[in-house]
């Protein structure tokens, strides 16, 4: 069952603008959320994470927002750069799981 959902398979954004990626989850036990970036034929690269006790976490151009009541998180990339073109995965974990549950990914294309 899809406990983590990324409903937008793709996103196209102009260089310099904001990219907003969305992720929804169904399991209220999740207490840690992560975003990974992945290029073809490479492993996912960790971008940013957020604990369920927070509602926002920032790291440079990347900000993750968590809305626990809506079971929704989003990743904002500002400003978007051509090197940001990749597949972005949302992932979640719960106490005792020892594993990550991934969404299906969103392909981001940043155009000049």
Partner 1 sequence: KAGVTQTPRYLIKTRGQQVTLSCSPISGHRSVSWYQQTPGQGLQFLFEYFSETQRNKGNFPGRFSGRQFSNSRSEMNVSTLELGDSALYLCASSLAGTSVETQYFGPGTRLLVL
Q: Is 88 in the site for partner 1 (CB under 8 A)?
A: no
Applying CB under 8 A, which of residues 23, 24, 44, 110 lies at the interface with partner 1?
A: 44
Nearest to partner 1 of 2, 67 (CB atom): 2
Strand stretches in the chain, DSSP E: 4-5, 10-14, 19-25, 30-38, 45-51, 56-59, 62-67, 72-77, 86-94, 101-102, 106-111
Q: Of the listed pieces 14-22, 62-70, 76-84, 89-97, which binds partner 1 according to CB under 8 A?
A: 89-97
d(CA 89, CA 81): 18
Applying CB under 8 A, which of residues 8, 65, 97, 109 lies at the interface with partner 1?
A: 97
Q: Which residues bind partner 1 (CB under 8 A)?
A: 31-32, 34, 36, 41-46, 49, 51, 89, 91, 93-105
């Amino acid at each position: 069952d899809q406990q983590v959902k990324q409903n937008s398979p793709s996103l196209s954004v102009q260089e310099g603008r904001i990219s907003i990626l969305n992720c929804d989850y169904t399991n209220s036990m999740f207490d840690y959320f992560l975003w990974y970036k992945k290029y073809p034929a490479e492993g996912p690269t960790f971008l940013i994470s957020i604990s369920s006790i927070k509602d926002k976490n920032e790291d440079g151009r990347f900000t993750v927002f968590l809305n626990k009541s809506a079971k929704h998180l989003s990743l904002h990339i500002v400003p978007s750069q051509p090197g940001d073109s990749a597949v972005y995965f949302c992932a979640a974990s719960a106490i005792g799981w020892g594993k990550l549950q991934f969404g299906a990914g969103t392909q981001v294309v940043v155009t000049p």
